[in-house]
Structure 1
Amino acid sequence: MDALTRHHLIPRKQHRRKRIRRRFSRAERAARILWVCRPCHDHIHKHFDEQTLAERLNTREALLAEPVVHDFVTWIARHPPGFKPRG
């Protein structure tokens, strides 16, 4: 397995937004972390802006329910560790 990267389910830049502060406590904002491989992390940020991640895709389940993420995770799981997709 490749080294994993820390994906903040609520992006750190969004922590200061009033809407996010009202919805999630400081502890919740800090604790929502998902460890993912680099290709998956890049894919997530390629397809979703930080506001969408913070407001709608702030759990593992919500993120994996998105077809673009689910399909990519399924696809990359068939490749050997260290595989780096193009583009």
Structure 2
Amino acid sequence: MAEPIRLPPQPEVCELCARPVALTRHHLIPKALHDKAYVQKRFVRHQRITATLWVCRACHNQIHRLFSEKELALTYNSRDALLGDERLRTFVEWLASKPPGFTPRH
């Protein structure tokens, strides 16, 4: 029998802005695309399921504001790739200086 797939444990802080706030799981390869051939060719099932980041709601919202699901799957499918985008990096750097209770208005 195959070993069960284990998701990465939840950290204490957002994996992007490092604030100690409530976290949500961001799927680096969007679940809606897991059955697409172009995703299956690039990522094995284990990668598709476990490639996640724990992020705060503000960072999560900004990720989905900036990128389409296809862009997330093909280009922005790692923490480094996400932070390689100047728009997201600038937002994360700005948010990192805010207190845990701060919620940006969009």
TM-score normalised to structure 1 length: 0.97
Question: Where do 5+ consecutive residues of structure 2 fail to align?
Answer: 1-19
Bigger relative CO (Cα 8 Å, ≥ 6 apart): 1
Query: Which structure carries more helix by proportion?
Result: 1
Count of aligned pairs between the two proteins: 87
**Alignment identity in percent?**
48
TM-score normalised to structure 2 length: 0.80
Match runs of 1:2-81 below 5 Å: 2-81=21-100
Task: List, as ranges, runs of 4+ consecutive aligned residues in structure 1 with deviation greater than 4 Å.
Answer: none
Separation in 2, partners of 1:40, 1:72: 8
Separation in 2, partners of 1:34, 1:68: 18
Larger Rg: 2
